[in-house]
Copies of this chain bind each other. A is one copy, B any other.
Amino acid sequence: MAYAGRVLIYGGRGALGAKCVSHFKANSFWVGSIDLAENPEANCNIVVDKNESFAGQETSIIAAVGEALKDERLDGIFCVAGGWAGGNAKKDLCKNSELMWQQSVCSSLIAASLAAKYLNESGVLQLTGAKAALEPTPGMIGYGLAKSAVHHLTKSLADKSGGLPENSVVLAILPVTLDTPMNRKWMPDADRSTWTPLEFVADLFVKWAKREGRPESGTLLQLVTKESRTSVTAA
């Protein structure tokens, strides 16, 4: 079978990740999913052992992706793994920050390592920041500092000497609130007309994988939804 291209979804079992897996499949892509559990819809699953050290995870995942790809390369790597924790310096600062480091920064770093090794020339690496982290985040300190690190990583990788394949691009999305089942559960009374639909994001990614409408490498793209319409604006 001829595929439209090959992509990896890091976090392919989460709400946004699963939507991406479906949408890429519907667009005839070969899709690999990396997550703590399998996504049966993916062409290939790489299951992360969360008891393994960070360096160990990197080694295992790089080896597994290499085996899955054989001599092929990837048109896109989309890293939508992540999480959220609130809190200031008074309580659980270290615990929350470590969790955010693991969920947002470690996944982004492994995605970047994979991109350096397996991305096509002119492929795309996508990371997930947060619009909130463009400003101080005193009520969710660990979350903000981890997302701020992801923003910095995006800009460093975009440089010619950052180590990604020639002509590839790295882009970060900076959502406000995504319309996920978890957010619906925890914020039942919120105004969902300001939440970004997962379909919008998945559609954007498919375009990028097809080399359509890509902003300049290194751009931090704020996803702002108002009255159920989403705009994409460089930070």
Segment of A8-16, A130-138, A179-187 engaged in the interface with chain B: A130-138
- Indicate whether A164 sits within 8 Å of B94 (C-beta atoms), given known contacts A141-B157, A148-B151: no
| CB-based contact A161/B138 at 8 Å | yes
| CB-based contact B141/A116 at 8 Å | no
| CB-based contact A55/B145 at 8 Å | no
Residues of chain B contacted by A95 (CB below 8 angstroms): 55, 58
Would you give the shortest CB distance from A187 to chain B, in whole angstroms? 20
Output the nearest chain B residue to A161 by Cβ-Cβ distance.
B138
Residues of A within 8 A of B (CB): 54-55, 58, 88-91, 93-95, 97-98, 101, 105-106, 109-110, 112-113, 115-116, 133, 136-139, 141, 144-146, 148-153, 155-164, 218
| CB-based contact A159/B138 at 8 Å | yes
| CB-based contact A112/B93 at 8 Å | yes
Residues of chain B contacted by A159 (CB below 8 angstroms): 136, 138
Nearest first, the 8 A-B pairs at minimum CB distance are A89-B163, A88-B163, A138-B159, A148-B152, A90-B163, A136-B155, A138-B162, A89-B116
| CB-based contact B110/A136 at 8 Å | no
Residues of chain B contacted by A105 (CB below 8 angstroms): 97, 101, 145
Q: How far is the CA of A156 from the CA of B148 in the complex (A)?
A: 11
In addition to A55-B94, A94-B113, A105-B145, 5 A-B residue pairs with Cβ atoms within 8 Å of each other are A91-B163, A94-B109, A136-B159, A138-B159, A148-B148
| CB-based contact A152/B163 at 8 Å | no
